[in-house]
Structure 1
Amino acid sequence: MYQSFIGLEVHIHLLTQTKVFCSCRSAFGDEPNTNVCPVCLGYPGVLPSLNREALRMGAVVARSLGCAIPEKTWFERKQYFYPDMPKNYQISQFASPLGQNGYLDIEGKGSRKRVRIRECHLEEDAGKMIHAGTVSLLDYNRAGMPLLEIVTEPDLETGEEAELFIRHLRRIVRYLGVCDGNMEEGSLRADANVSINLRGRGLGSKVEIKNLNSSRFVRLGLDYEIRRQETMLEEGRAVAQETRLWNENRDRTEPMRSKEDSKDYRYFPEPDLPVFVPDVEFLASVEAGRTELPLDRMKRLVRTCGVTVEQAELICDEKPLADYFEAAAAEARNLGHGDDAPGRIAAWLLSDVKRVLNRDRISPETIFSLALTPKRLAELAGLVSAGTVSGKNAREVLEAVLAEDKDPEAIIRERGWERITDPELIAGTVRSVCSREEKALSDIAKAMLDGNEKRRAALETYLVGKILAATGGRADPGITRTQLGVFLAAYSPDR
């Protein structure tokens, strides 16, 4: 009956060393009000100076989202009063934003959707207010940090789609190295605009939900707001155009203030900053900063490396992890390990290697500094595939490589962990183990007489486990089963 229209305004902190219009340090977590100067505190008579690196980073994001860079771009003053905005205006972009008319394709649950990007504009962030009882504290460290705002068209329809968009965009900016994407610290946050109307009637009255600092809250806030507006329309009440906040403790949106239009901000060109005309050198630096995007990389890995879609998605979630995987796959090809080697490497990376990273709290960004180099991981996966070492011992080899910084093959030789493939040697172990397992042998004979195949198979598996344990997991399981079968065929409980 109703159709919902959702547009997002996603703000990302660019990872520049200094703020966008002054030389103050741009960093999270420093002592309050230590990274400030007369410029970012809005003292009379000061002049802003544009951070060219912030402009370049913003343009890299814009181009990666398919946006066009205009022939010239400039800044405006956006007039409003917030207690955490020292100047009582914000230097932003309005008439000619840095990036225009792009898109982002999102995929999830087998479906694909193109979301149009209206613009990407560069601006300065406001400070931060901390409310403690009846006291409000102000930290201006964040004031003036470079902020890129990415504005979509109202192409999204559900909270789930909006959450997916945020996750895709977060991964992209992390891949590009322009934002750490930490929503808890506020380096990526979103405002969501939503309206509903009878299907086919177009946009309804727009409600904005401010400062959503997790993709989950984006979904929950929008789902709640859509239900709230549906209820109001069904009751014959008008939906007011307003700004609301998401109350995560009560799982609902709450009124904040009436919603402004662009005319209320009284934009006019910033008189202290000249128009910026991108030259050939600047545009070349922007193109050099681009990289293969996560979704494209996932598809390529599935196509060229033989990994599953699920594996590719997990591998490509973090760029360093994907870089490490591709380096290990290339080493495996150089070693002649076969076309299926990348799949084996993916399995190791996503299970045992990630287990170690999580256990030791190692960031994926530092994975190349591990003693387990891509070449060593390729060698280890190859040794397992060739039957040189068992999977159980290979996990111990992995731990030893990390602890001792040695090659897998050297560790296997030192520990005596080579897989035993000599049938006669394994047959001797079978006889030795079975000499201590008379009850199991008797039960197998009884199960065979009774025709209880399930019981017989379970008992044989039990004996195989005992034999493998006796060899420290080194005996080849296939040969072990064969030799056990030979032993059982000749076994007589009455002998």
Structure 2
Amino acid sequence: MKYQSFIGLEVHIHLLTKTKVFCGCRSAFGDEPNTNVCPVCMGYPGVLPALNIEAMRMGCMVAKSLNCSIPEKTWFERKQYFYPDMTKNYQISQFASPLGQKGWVDIEGKGREGVIKKRVRITECHLEEDAGKMIHTGTASLLDYNRAGVSLLEIVTEPDMETGEEAELFIQQLRRTVRYLGVCDGNMEEGSLRADANVSINLPGKGLGKKVEIKNLNSSRFVRLGLEYEIVRQGELLDAGKEVTQETRLWNENRDETAIMRTKENAKDYRFFPEPDLPVFTPDAAFLKSVEEALTELPLKRQRRFEADYGLTEEQADLICEEKAQADYFEAAVKQARSQGLENTDAAGRIANWLLTDIKHILHRDGISASEFGSFKLTPQRLASLLVLIAKGTVSSKNGKQTLEAVLAEDKDPADIIKERGWEQIVDPAKIAGIVQTVFAAEQVTVEELRSLLSGGNPKRANTLRAYLVGKALAATGGRADPKIVGPQVEKLLQP
């Protein structure tokens, strides 16, 4: 039977604050267990939390980027629950007045069955402290409280998505957004961005069904796979005349299936009451201005602008805009190339091609992240200069690629390297004619065979021999001779 699916997400992101949200402990991944702790985040009696204003500012940046409104007043509550990974047994969170409310985001991308375009409503963004980390080893469970108290922003959507692909695209787009804003590194494998997915199915037009939650999905791919599995599983239950149980499940990546974690009797298992040790936060004009000033052009908007302004394909623009540092590098290089005489679209096309091929290969080979473009020896100015030299015929594409490697190895400007190595392209027709004559003298057998074929022989064989002679002439100059001149010179000398 055909069912309608309803998918909502709860995405948790670690904010890149230097310290935790309510205390001064260092916030960092990978430190020795239980070294970044203090009486506040460990919940000792009599301690007082203090709000990290930077966490609030970053949270509001995300909320604004998701078109949420920021309330005139926002405050915190204690979320009461059994927390084996939090010693105080409650979590300071937001419930009644979260920092971001009633927003939306448009997702766009390619799916298996065509283009995905959808507006997803954002219920809220709320700031809270993360719990510690439990490590299970055999019959023992270990607790690392370094993560307890780390600034955590939870983004809750309405159940507007219908497929696992849409949810995957939402996660990917959100990850790119928070990285652009500089508020989260988005490393899902480290848990700094993770998602819980809620899914229900029902007959079309009948509204929401019984909700099942899939917890702690740490990759966008697992979000898609988990939801696709759940939609099929729930459909099979309903087809068999059974009911879907409202419960929480986990994704088993080794078996590609969800497994029961716990059953929920009610939709809300938590109890909230106002946090007595934190005052109400009222954002003033200076705070709101700092939020606005910290915002940046978001990745999807930038991608569309690259297509319109620079003539890039959708795929090129998407790949370049994957990282903000890479997109910044691209635009800086285009600006430099234009200042040196290249047309806008010509400069953009050349830079995009090199960025997505040769430079991408070098980054991968040398283990350099695209986010490290700020310290890349091939600066935007150097890349632009190199491509202008190639466009003007000063250096061949082949020697241009060698120049690229030399720039990275020697930290020098392309023009200096080309001059030092004698890699300037030979464009003098008379000089190239002399080189071709030398090649003809050394390859008399090939030349005679080709001349005989020109009067009506095998054209495929003739083209092969012609290419061979051109290649020999280029090799004789170390690739410096302009192929556009070599070819005609070869043809000229082949005439009887």
Tell me which interval the TM-score lies in, with the shorter structure as reference length. Answer: over 0.9
Could you tell which deviates more after superposition, 110-119 or 440-449? 440-449
Tell me the alpha carbon deviations over residues 291-321 of structure 1, each in whole angstroms, 9 at most, x when there is no partner. Answer: 0000111111121122222211111100111
Q: What is the CA–CA distance in structure 2 between the aligned matches of 1:483 and 1:192, rounded to whole Å?
A: 67
Aligned match of 2:427 in 416, 421, 430? Answer: 421
2:202 — aligned with what? 197
Q: What is the CA–CA distance in structure 2 between the aligned matches of 1:395 and 1:201, rounded to whole Å?
A: 61
Partner-residue secondary structure (3-state), 1:264: coil
Offset at residue 263 of structure 1 (A): 4.2
1:404 — aligned with what? 410
Offset at residue 489 of structure 1 (A): 1.9
Could you tell which deviates more after superposition, 184-193 or 155-164? 155-164
The answer to whether the aligner puts 1:367 opposite 2:401 as a matched pair is: no
How many residues matched? 490
1:355 — aligned with what? 361
The answer to whether the aligner puts 1:237 opposite 2:242 as a matched pair is: yes
- Flag structure 2 segments of 5+ consecutive residues without an equivalent: none
Tell me the alpha carbon deviations over residues 236-268 of structure 1, each in whole angstroms, 9 at most, x when there is no partner. Answer: 110000000000111100000113646431111
Kept in 2: contact 1:208–1:259 (CA 8 A): no
Could you tell which deviates more after superposition, 73-82 or 169-178? 73-82
2:44 — aligned with what? 43
The answer to whether the aligner puts 1:280 opposite 2:285 as a matched pair is: yes
Partner-residue secondary structure (3-state), 2:319: helix
Kept in 1: contact 2:215–2:248 (CA 8 A): yes
Q: What is the CA–CA distance in structure 1 between the aligned matches of 2:268 and 2:224, rounded to whole Å?
A: 30
Alignment of 1:374-393 (within 5 A): 374-393=380-399
Q: What is the CA–CA distance in structure 2 between the aligned matches of 1:471 and 1:163, rounded to whole Å?
A: 53
Alignment of 1:61-460 (within 5 A): 61-109=62-110, 110-259=115-264, 261=266, 263-339=268-344, 340-460=346-466
Tell me the alpha carbon deviations over residues 139-192 of structure 1, each in whole angstroms, 9 at most, x when there is no partner. Answer: 000001010000111111111111111110000000000000000100000000
Offset at residue 449 of structure 1 (A): 4.7
Kept in 1: contact 2:213–2:249 (CA 8 A): yes
Could you tell which deviates more after superposition, 180-189 or 338-347? 338-347
Offset at residue 343 of structure 1 (A): 1.4
Q: Cα–Cα, structure 1 residues 439 and 131, in superposed 2: closer, same or farther, change >3 Å?
A: farther
Q: What is the CA–CA distance in structure 1 between the aligned matches of 2:449 and 2:81, rounded to whole Å?
A: 85
Regions of 4+ moved over 6 Å: none
1:16 — aligned with what? 17
Partner-residue secondary structure (3-state), 2:234: helix
1:493 — aligned with what? none
**What amino acid maps onto 2:210 in structure 1?**
S
The answer to whether the aligner puts 1:487 opposite 2:488 as a matched pair is: no
Offset at residue 414 of structure 1 (A): 1.1
Q: What is the CA–CA distance in structure 2 between the aligned matches of 1:152 and 1:456, rounded to whole Å?
A: 66
Kept in 2: contact 1:207–1:259 (CA 8 A): no
Q: Cα–Cα, structure 1 residues 435 and 96, in superposed 2: closer, same or farther, change >3 Å?
A: same
- Flag structure 1 segments of 5+ consecutive residues without an equivalent: 491-495
Could you tell which deviates more after superposition, 28-37 or 449-458? 449-458
Q: What is the CA–CA distance in structure 1 between the aligned matches of 2:302 and 2:377, rounded to whole Å?
A: 26
Kept in 1: contact 2:76–2:93 (CA 8 A): yes
The answer to whether the aligner puts 1:474 opposite 2:469 as a matched pair is: no
Percent identity between the aligned chains?
70
Q: What is the CA–CA distance in structure 2 between the aligned matches of 1:447 and 1:130, rounded to whole Å?
A: 77
Q: What is the CA–CA distance in structure 2 between the aligned matches of 1:401 and 1:450, rounded to whole Å?
A: 49
Kept in 2: contact 1:348–1:381 (CA 8 A): no
The answer to whether the aligner puts 1:60 opposite 2:65 as a matched pair is: no
Partner-residue secondary structure (3-state), 1:129: strand
Q: What is the CA–CA distance in structure 2 between the aligned matches of 1:125 and 1:188, rounded to whole Å?
A: 12
**What amino acid maps onto 1:136 in structure 2?**
S
Tell me the alpha carbon deviations over residues 403-430 of structure 1, each in whole angstroms, 9 at most, x when there is no partner. Answer: 2222211111111111111112111221
**What amino acid maps onto 1:363 in structure 2?**
S
Q: TM-score, normalised by structure 1?
A: 0.96
**What amino acid maps onto 2:9 in structure 1?**
L
**What amino acid maps onto 2:255 in structure 1?**
R
Q: What is the CA–CA distance in structure 1 between the aligned matches of 2:417 and 2:328, rounded to whole Å?
A: 26
Could you tell which deviates more after superposition, 411-420 or 170-179? 411-420
Q: What is the CA–CA distance in structure 2 between the aligned matches of 1:94 and 1:416, rounded to whole Å?
A: 69
